[in-house]
Structure 1
Amino acid sequence: MIKKLMLAFAALAVSGSMAFAQVDVNKADVAALDGVKGVGPSMSKAILDERAKGEFKDWPDLQTRVKGLGDKKAVKLSQSGLVVNGKAKEGAAAKPAAAKGDKSAAKPADAKTAT
């Protein structure tokens, strides 16, 4: 029983690490691009077509040249592992803002002054 649990845990650990593998738009093939959550066949084709004209310099260059790739989509793709020249999209690692009505994030800590 313990062997089965260890095997299952090892399988989850391997599959979990593969989900966050970085895929560079300047080096990836169709299969690698399609493996990124949020990138479908049409976006993969658009990326490869534009890359054939020249490598992407940075995220703004990618967003300008690939139709339908706005800031929100770029951040999501970056969080899924897509990179440009080894760099993630700025803001991709940022924590989401507190939800509306969540007053705990807006409350200042109790400040006690020393007298």
Structure 2
Amino acid sequence: MKHTPFFATLVLLFSLATGFAYAEQPVININSADAVTLANLDGIGASKAEAIIAYREANGPFQAPQDLSNVKGIGARTVEKNADRLTVK
């Protein structure tokens, strides 16, 4: 009994499922993003997202993504984890 179509289907489904896990995350402009969008960053919850917005309003736009570590409660490690997703354009 040949199982080739069955196994081919399983391989295809597995490939599709794992491909979505590696989908590229969207880039987030930390100078214009709202709290919901900022909360999608790794290590950033609702309260830190609000702190980012408050810092931005008090101090003006961020000059570089690394400036995000100036916000109380956000360290260099959090910025590093999100480096590929941050922009200030």
Query: Given the two structures, how large is their TM-score scaled by the length of structure 2?
Result: 0.65
Alignment of 1:96-111 (within 5 A): none
How far is 1:75 from its partner?
1.4
Secondary structure of 1:42's counterpart equals helix
Distance 1:13 1:59, change over 3 A: same
Query: Is the Cα–Cα contact under 8 Å of residues 66 and 79 in structure 2 kept in the other structure?
Result: no
Which structure is larger by alpha-carbon Rg, 1 or 2? 1
More helix by share: 2
Give the aligned residue type for 2:16: A
Measured against aligned partners, the alpha-carbon deviations of 1:38-90 in whole angstroms (never above 9, x if no partner) come to 111111111122233432111353322x1122323321232xx441326xxxx
Larger RCO (CA under 8 A, 6+ residues apart): 2
Q: Residue 38 in 1 paired to residue 43 in 2?
A: yes
| Correspondent of 1:72 among 72, 77, 86 | 77
| Cα distance between partner residues in 2 of 1:83 and 1:40 | 16
In structure 1, distance between residues paired with 2:48 and 2:85:
13
Is 1:14 the counterpart of 2:20? The answer is yes
Runs of 4+ aligned residues of structure 1 deviating over 4 Å after TM superposition are none
State whether structure 2 residue 30 is matched by structure 1 residue 25.
Answer: yes
Helix, strand or coil at the partner of 2:22: helix
Residue aligning to 2:3:
none
Structure 2 residues not aligned, in runs of 5+: 1-5
Give me the whole-angstrom Cα distance separating, in 1, the residues matched to 2:40 and 2:14: 23
Q: CA deviation at 1:5?
A: 2.8
Overall identity of the aligned pairs, in %: 26
Q: CA RMSD in A?
A: 2.4
CA distance 1:36–1:74, change in 2 (3 Å): same
